[in-house]
Amino acid sequence: MNNNFGGIMLRTLVVILTMSVCSVYAYPKIDSILTHIDNKYSLVTDVKSRVDLTQQKVNQGAKKLQMTYYRRDSDKSFLIIMDAPENEKGNGYLRMGDNFWMYRKNTRTFQHINRDESIGGSDAKGDDFEDRKLMEKYKPAVDGSGNEIITDDTLGKIEVYKFEVAAKVNDVDYPKKIYWVRKDNYTVLKEAAYSQSGTLMQSAYYLKFTTIKGRDIAVKMLFVDEFEKGNKSVVEISGISIDKLDNDIFTKAYLENLSK
Amino acid sequence: MHYLFQISLRNLLRQKRRNILLGVAIAFGTMVLILASAFSHGISEVLFNEIVVYVSGHVSINFSDNGNQFAQVFHDGPRVLDIVKKEVPEMRNVQESMGVMARAIGNGKSDNVIMIGIDLKSGDEKDLQDAEKNFRMIVGDFYDLGDSTIENPVVLSEQKAKYLNVKKGDIIRVRYKMINGQDQASRLTVVGIFKPANIFMSAPVFLEIHDIKNIAGYGPNDIGTLFISLKNPKKDAIKIANKLQKKLQPSLAGIYGDLSFKEVSAQSTILGTKSDTASRNFLARTITFTDSTIKVTRDAVFISDSLANVLHVTTGDQIQIDFKPKYPDQKGFGLVKITGIFSPNKTVPSNVVLVNELDFYKVFYSAWPMNFMENKASFVPDTTNALYKTFSPEWNLLSRVKTTEQMTKQMREVGSKRIRGTSVSVQSMYESASAVLNLEVALHLITFVAVMILFFIILIGVINTLRMTIRERTREIGTIRAIGMQKGDVKMTFVLETFFLGLFSAVTGTILAFVAMKIMSMIKIDSGDNPIGMLLSNGHLHFAPTAVSVAGYIILIVFIAVSTAYFPARRASNKSSAEALRHYE
């Protein structure tokens, strides 16, 4: 009987160990996924593109913004020039290192603003246009047993990993996020952002991609306001150019001259 | 002299109808003058004690964390409150002002709101009554705001409740930014709906201050903007603001704690270094690096070579800082990444780590450290240290400004994020609430001009009547001069007669003014959303006559009446008796 009991125990132990090993190795580490995403989306070249932002708000109709966006990550610079609507045309936003200015065409003045300032009166903010690595902002969230929170899921017919991250710095909009990334290439397809109180605040859907120099770049995104139902924004990126940008572009003078 | 009084008083009674009419005119003028003055003072009182107190405080201490105007927080709150309580005996009270912009969703309706905090716990009975006076509750109890069994109790105006389609007991969901910049959502429970006492109270929703601090992410030792109410704001506001400015000078910021890397730890002083170009260049010239290629960048963290040897760290390693916080409910902890190693010298000895101010303040403010200067093992640079001005202070005290324009410019400067750490500014109502004060000056001016026009119209009537009286009495003057009355006495008779007329009328006018004030202040005015409502006190006109102004106006009126009588009286008295007797009309 003792031998039998010992055998059962041994088999049970083997099963548990096997399951544990399987569960540990079934999923990739969240850190490695985040690093992969960071590498995937970081720009090795300069970029210029057109951005169309359509913002739908409850009882307010749609607001359409069109802008030209220049970005150079080597010195953390970007420039946004508003092309539409008419009342915003010629206005701009210039980020150079730690400085962030808003240019008003009417008064021909530059004003220092914060990263979280609205762009063209929309819900888009200055820091949405920055290149900031996920790994700098988030770390894997763990459950009560200390295991990373990651599971299998499907979006439509696509197999994805669904995983949760928690903020490791304070200066992020949301302290908790859940990502859905493709299993085959870690492309982010969906993300859900939660407040500290656990309320789902925003969902983002990455709808279309284009490949530039072997990197998948999202060119159509849908942001759904989960707090105030009915509010949503669609961002479409077109005319992407990765040619090296002239140094003069990231200057106040360039922005002023464009608006003349 | 006695007989001059008798003659003057008897003369007053001789022409009763005319003198009564004249007296009524003077009394009416006095009444209007005192009423207008009391109303004007009443408006001042309402503006200073009911508007300015809530809009900006008579004196305010403002905080801005790392240039973010929405993060109005100071992490060593008890220290500042102690300074205020000790240094401002002239104050009536000090309260935290808390306003958080939010998007609110009621029952199928949404709107932008400002969540305002009301302190129900720290004030005395009178403060509570003052607060309650502004909330004429239609539904619910104002004091339910302090009910800890309800989830975030809130009271709001009837207009806002109607817009959000909520009633007592309903839940309002709000989305807002916490002080650390993160988006947050909370549920507020409607415990009451009130009729706003003034236009400023229609838009916001009101929570108990501890609830709002809690949901906005304030720690137990964090405070928001302080509004100080003074007993005599006009006299003391600037003086107190200047005094507080001196008392709020920051010391050098520093942390004395354990540095650790892997299993090794060592004690050290951690100092912040300013990130502006001039300071970084000066630091680069003053300290010697073990590697000449090291640059003093904005994210620089330098450790001495001896400390680096002890900890076995090199450039690129992340070290942990643990320190004893000032308040026991916190945990002093931080992580910094080393960017360079320096050779210690007299200016910066071996047990020092220099951290760029952005990272330094993150650690420093996460749990306010014990005063590193009190630790004997700590390195405390004195003012003769070459790098003294390069080291970061506990906070940045902004210079006092004199005008609203300067204040706006300063705020813009802070907002540009060129100032790291917490910015502290002290403002009096003359800078922060100049729009309200300008309104008060304008109202005073309008009242004064209107009253003066009315008064001069009355005065012309008085002068004219006096001249008629004297002309009519010219022959009488001749008679009394002929029987021996001196010139001076004749003049004095007329002057005294006018004096008594003016005095009796002015006193009567004053009594009438007080009666009118009593009646008018009893009338309830429903101003609704009309901005004029902000000049009312709890829906009533507020009059504030002062003894000095009432006495002053009586003296002024009597003086003007006597002055106007003096010249015709002198002309009459200068006539010879024969000439006066020949006078005929």
With an 8 Å Cβ cutoff, is A109 touching chain B?
Answer: no
Range of A4-13, A29-38, B40-49, B406-415 with top mean pLDDT: A29-38
pTM of this prediction exceeds 0.80: no
**Is B182–A196 a contact, with Cβ atoms under 8 angstroms apart?**
yes
The number of helix segments (H) and strand segments (E) in chain A equals 4, 14
**Is B103–A227 a contact, with Cβ atoms under 8 angstroms apart?**
yes
**Is B181–A58 a contact, with Cβ atoms under 8 angstroms apart?**
no
Over residues B130-157, the pLDDT tens digits come to: 677 778 889 998 889 889 899 999 999 9
**More reliable by pLDDT, A2 or B105:** B105
Chain B, 88 to 147: residues with Cβ < 8 Å from chain A are: 103, 105, 110
Share of chain B above pLDDT 70, in %: 95
Give the position of tokens 């006492």.
Answer: B197
Over residues B531-552, the pLDDT tens digits come to: 666 677 777 888 888 898 899 8
With an 8 Å Cβ cutoff, is B214 touching chain A?
Answer: no
Neighbours of B535 (CB within 10 A): 22
Chain A, 141 to 170: residues with Cβ < 8 Å from chain B are: 167, 170
**Is A228–B68 a contact, with Cβ atoms under 8 angstroms apart?**
no
Which residues in chain B are contacts of A201 at CB distance < 8 A?
A: 175, 183, 185
A214 burial via Cβ count (<10 Å: 0-12, 13-18, 19+): exposed
The CA distance from A201 to the nearest CA of chain B, in Å, is 8
- State which residue of chain A sits closest to B299, comparing Cα positions: A98
- DSSP, collapsed to helix, strand or coil, labels residue B267 as strand
pLDDT, mean over chain B: 86
pLDDT value of position B245: 95
B24 burial via Cβ count (<10 Å: 0-12, 13-18, 19+): middle
Q: Above 90 in pLDDT, residue B431?
A: no
pLDDT value of position B16: 80
Q: How far apart are CA B139 and CA B116, in angstroms?
A: 19
pLDDT value of position A1: 43
pLDDT value of position A18: 47
Write the CA distances from B27 to A110, B168, B468, B499, B558, integer angstroms.
62, 53, 20, 13, 11
Q: Above 60 in pLDDT, residue B225?
A: yes
H-type alpha helices, B151-202: 158-164
Over residues B299-310, the pLDDT tens digits come to: 899 999 999 999
Chain B, 348 to 367: residues with Cβ < 8 Å from chain A are: none
Q: How far apart are CA B522 and CA B519, in angstroms?
A: 5
User: Per DSSP, which regions of B405-454 are E strands?
Assistant: 422-428
Residue B32 parent element (H or E)? helix B16-46
- State which residue of chain B sits closest to A196, comparing Cα positions: B184
pLDDT value of position A21: 45
Q: Above 90 in pLDDT, residue B467?
A: no
Name which of A128-132, B237-241, B316-320, B346-350 the model is least confident about: A128-132
Over residues B291-331, the pLDDT tens digits come to: 888 888 888 999 999 999 999 999 999 999 999 999 988 88
Write the CA distances from B562 to B3, B207, B485, B503, B511, integer angstroms.
19, 60, 21, 10, 21
User: Per DSSP, which regions of A14-98 are E strands?
Assistant: 47-57, 61-72, 77-84, 92-96
Asked whether the beta carbons of B191 and B154 are under 8 A apart, the reply is: yes
Q: Above 90 in pLDDT, residue B52?
A: no
Q: Please state the rounded mean pLDDT for residues B407-426.
A: 80
* DSSP 8-state symbol, B400: P
pLDDT value of position B569: 79
From first to last of its 260 residues, what are the pLDDT tens digits of chain A? Answer: 444 555 555 555 554 544 444 444 578 999 999 998 888 776 667 888 999 989 888 877 888 989 998 888 777 788 888 888 888 888 888 888 777 888 888 888 888 777 667 676 667 766 666 666 888 889 999 998 889 999 999 998 899 999 999 998 877 889 999 999 999 888 899 999 999 888 999 999 999 988 877 777 888 999 999 988 888 889 999 988 888 888 888 888 888 887 66
